[in-house]
Amino acid sequence: MLKIENLHARIAGKEILKGLSLEVNPGAVHAIMGPNGAGKSTLGNVLAGRPGYEVTAGSVSYDGQDLLALEPEARAAAGVFLAFQYPVEIPGVNNTYFLRAALNGQRKARGEEELDSMQFLKLVRGKVKDMGMTPDLLNRAVNEGFSGGEKKRNEVFQMALLEPRLAILDETDSGLDIDALKQVAAGVNALRSPQRSFLVITHYQRLLDYIVPDFVHVLADGRIAESGDAQLARELEAHGYAWVGEQAHAEARA
Amino acid sequence: MNAAVTPFVESMQAAALRIPSAGPAWLDEARRAALQAFVERGLPDTRNELWKYTSLRALNQRSHAPVDPAAASRAAVEGLLPASSADAARVVFVNGAFRSDLSALAGLPQGVTLQPLSRALLDQPEPLRFLLAANAGSDDGFTLLNRALAVEGVVLRVDAGVRVAAPLHIVHVGVASDTPSAWHLRSLIELGEGASADLVEHYVGQVDAEHFANVVRDVTLRERARLGWTVVQTAGPGALLLRRSDCRLGEDSALDFHALELGGKLARHELRVELAGTRARFKSRGAFVLHGRQHADTEVLVTHCGRDTASDSLWRGVADDRARGVVHGRILVMRGADGADGGFYNKNLLLSPDAEIDTRPALEIYADEVKANHGATVGQLDENMLFYLRSRGISLDVARRLLVRAFCAVALDGIEPASLREHCEALLSAQLPEASV
């Protein structure tokens, strides 16, 4: 469903991704790991279409269409969702209004009927309950005054409501204590399905104890340096990221 | 020495000749004196600190004349009247002329006087003498002109202890005329001890109405009086609105002011508030949203005189295209006004590289144990917020509208009743067309 080929991208003139290739099939959970500065978040932002990121070479095909040619909102309507590393506070914008505008914006773009406020409220209240969120969430402004953990849970809640087909979790585990981490992971696991794929971007192996990936990739210097299964994450935990670099050098020498 | 005799000044002199004698000799005399003073002084220019960013050069080269008030048919006007005023007590002016056929003044609560100035002058001119005949030291060209030419306005009096439950509405309607019209309104609002009322002031107009409105009001709140005052300004694109309000607040009185300024070609309001009595309180919230070549100028000039007085102002400005916004918030704390607590906060948003907003908060303090704060910013829509909304499937133009509305929301928050607030929110949304925002 997602095919990234030889992707090069830069921000503010600095090249961050230097020939990244990756293929994701429906239903697969891919973990993207790597040291700081390897390009993990850049990958998520480029896929979601954040302004300021310039793709200089390569291609991204999503369901057979050129993902990079789409505006961010069109990518969302096509089923791409980015759970932000730093969810944005938007004072004055009510959560219920925001979620309805998002869901109906996507539905409209897909040529589906928009939900009226009664239908929407029923749906959103159901999701609040499923995800164990406090109903008060719906009356608050988007992320305003939320704790770090609440913000991350809110990202997963939005994901549950919008039902994307490709969910990108950008360091959703950062800044979470163990309880919040388990809650977030449970939310994600509940959404796993044969039709939905995940890119789980994380610095630490800890999250992958709770969201067990099908594949693990190690990003180094803008490229995938190593790929494997969940076992790779545990080896990284034991040896550190430097180990991947040594492995790569060893292979190059061999 | 006379200022330059411009087409504008000439047209005002001509208008003065057409005003019939008012009745009381003191009024005719006051009008003559004010006209003379105006001709000598002319319109304020940009060397005047309060007019620094609002040039009147274009206005000075135009003629404006009073127009026949009966020219606008009832049918043409009715569609323009705000729905929120439909079942309420209201005074309606069309091109500055009182329209009894559109107003609703029957059934006012006991102790409430709400009538056009023309009628009040017929009934009982003497109580208005102080207001209409005395020149104030701070009179500018427009105030002098208003003294010379205002034959109409609103007189609202609420007797001591009377609490008016339902909001009272004043509606200013501008309709098209053969020549650009001019009108001058002088209003008096006075709430007695412990009285309470809510006033909603609307400006509406036809798209092709070109007019110059010069509105001056004096507001007096006696001890423990409370006035809620909301201005909803959606005048037509040809409207030039020059408004000035002088408010004097007595002990323990409170003025709660809201303004939503959306219309007009030039819309200026100079709101002067004197916190005269101990513990007098002033709160203001307001927003303007401008596009095209609109110009809005809000001057909030607060003077703390009494002890333990409080002022709290929070304003938002948004300008798109080539629009120009001006905000000036001044807090003056006089000697002896110990314990004063004043705040003026203004944030602005530019939606286009050609738009401009000038904001100047100012504090002048001559007392001890005073709390005074101010802050002003001019910025653009937050790119992170925009991307966050878009990444969830909200299109760029809807995202921008959402953020502009959210930016202004704080200014509309306290508007009562809720139906009026929702009306304001709807007007604000309508001001943000998808194509331009």
Quote the pLDDT of residue B66. 82
| Cα of A83 to nearest chain B Cα, Å | 9
Name which residue leads in pLDDT, A252 or B304: B304
Report the residue of A142, A143, A151 to disrupt the B interface, i.e. the one with the largest count of B CBs within 10 Å.
A142
Residues 6+ apart with CB under 8 A from B47: none
Quote the pLDDT of residue A142. 96
**Average pLDDT of span B355-384:** 96
Closest-CA residue of A relative to B389 is A102
Chain A residues whose beta carbon lies within 8 Å of the beta carbon of residue B428? none
Decide if A149 touches B, using CB distance below 8 A.
Answer: no
CB burial of residue A184 (10 Å; 0-12, 13-18, 19+): buried
| Cα of A107 to nearest chain B Cα, Å | 9
| Cα of B122 to nearest chain A Cα, Å | 50
Which of A77, A101, A106 is nearest residue B402 as measured by Cβ atoms? Answer: A101
A141 vs A97: CA distance, rounded Å: 9
b/e B206-228 (16+ beta carbons within 10 angstroms → b): beebbbbbbbbbbbbbbbbbbbb
Report the residue of B389, B407, B422 to disrupt the A interface, i.e. the one with the largest count of A CBs within 10 Å.
B389
Element (H, E) at B274: strand B266-275
Torsion, Cα of A94, A98, A104, A107 (10° steps): -160
pLDDT of residue B1 exceeding 60: no
Check residue B96 and give left, alpha or beta (phi > 0: left; psi -120 to 50: alpha): left
- What tokens were used for B77? 């006007």
How far, in Å, are A82, A105, B142 from residue A85 at the CA level? Answer: 9, 23, 56
Report the residue of B349, B386, B391 to disrupt the A interface, i.e. the one with the largest count of A CBs within 10 Å.
B391
| Cα of A35 to nearest chain B Cα, Å | 25
pLDDT band for position B433 (50/70/90)?
Answer: low
Which of A71, A88, A158 is nearest residue B384 as measured by Cβ atoms? Answer: A88
User: How many residue pairs from chains A and B have C-beta atoms closer than 8 A?
Assistant: 78
Q: Chain-centre distance of CA A27, in angstroms?
A: 14
pLDDT band for position B437 (50/70/90)?
Answer: very low
| Residue B414 DSSP class | T
Quote the pLDDT of residue A93. 93
Decide if A212 touches B, using CB distance below 8 A.
Answer: no
Nearest to B411 by CA among B263, B288, B234, B244: B288
Nearest to B340 by CA among B373, B301, B375: B373
Name which residue leads in pLDDT, B21 or B155: B155
- What tokens were used for B267? 């819309």
Quote the pLDDT of residue B74. 84
Which of A14-23, B75-84, B136-145, B427-436 shows the lowest mean pLDDT across its residues? B427-436
The residues in B 352-391 lying below 8 A from A, measured between CB atoms, are 382-385, 387-391
Q: What is the DSSP string of chain A?
A: -EEEEEEEEEETTEEEEEEEEEEE-TT-EEEEE--TTSSHHHHHHHHHT-TTEEEEEEEEEETTEEGGGS-HHHHHHTTEEEE-SSPPPEEEEEHHHHHHHHHHHHHHHTTPPPPPHHHHHHHHHHHHHHTT--GGGGGSEETTT--HHHHHHHHHHHHHHH--SEEEEESTTTT--HHHHHHHHHHHHHH-BTTBEEEEE-SSSGGGGTS--SEEEEEETTEEEEEE-HHHHHHHHHH-THHHHHHHHHHHH-
Q: Do B394 and A84 touch (CB under 8 A)?
A: no
| Cα of B388 to nearest chain A Cα, Å | 7
Chain A residues whose beta carbon lies within 8 Å of the beta carbon of residue B410? 92
Chain B residues whose beta carbon lies within 8 Å of the beta carbon of residue A88? 382, 384-385, 387-388
pLDDT band for position B321 (50/70/90)?
Answer: very high
- Residue-wise pLDDT for B12-54, tens only, equals 999 999 888 767 899 999 999 999 999 999 999 999 989 999 9
Q: Do B390 and A91 touch (CB under 8 A)?
A: no
Closest-CA residue of A relative to B382 is A90
Q: What mean pLDDT, rounded, does chain B reach?
A: 93
Quote the pLDDT of residue A23. 97
Residue B346 near residue B327 (C-beta atoms within 8 A): yes
Q: Do A71 and B389 touch (CB under 8 A)?
A: no
Using a CB cutoff of 8 Å and minimum separation of 24, what contacts does B73-80 make?
B74/B101, B74/B102, B76/B175, B76/B206, B77/B102, B77/B173, B77/B175, B78/B102, B80/B173, B80/B175, B80/B204, B80/B205, B80/B206
- pLDDT < 50: residue spans in chain A: none
Residues 6+ apart with CB under 8 A from B317: B287, B288, B290, B296, B298, B325, B327, B346, B347, B348, B349, B357, B359
Quote the pLDDT of residue B248. 98
| Cα of B394 to nearest chain A Cα, Å | 5
What's the complex ipTM?
A: 0.95
pLDDT of residue B332 exceeding 80: yes
**Average pLDDT of span B79-90:** 91
pLDDT of residue B435 exceeding 50: no
Closest-CA residue of B relative to A88 is B385
Single pTM value for the model: 0.89
| Cα of A87 to nearest chain B Cα, Å | 8
**Average pLDDT of span B233-255:** 97
3-class DSSP assignment, residue B329: strand
Closest-CA residue of B relative to A159 is B392
The residues in B 392-411 lying below 8 A from A, measured between CB atoms, are 392-396, 398-399, 402-403, 405-407, 409-410
Residue B175 near residue B206 (C-beta atoms within 8 A): yes
A64 vs A3: CA distance, rounded Å: 9
pLDDT of residue B269 exceeding 90: yes
Which of B387, B405, B409 is nearest residue A72 as measured by Cβ atoms? Answer: B387
Report the residue of A53, A80, A96, A98 to disrupt the B interface, i.e. the one with the largest count of B CBs within 10 Å.
A98
Quote the pLDDT of residue A128. 94
Percent share of chain B, pLDDT over 90: 80
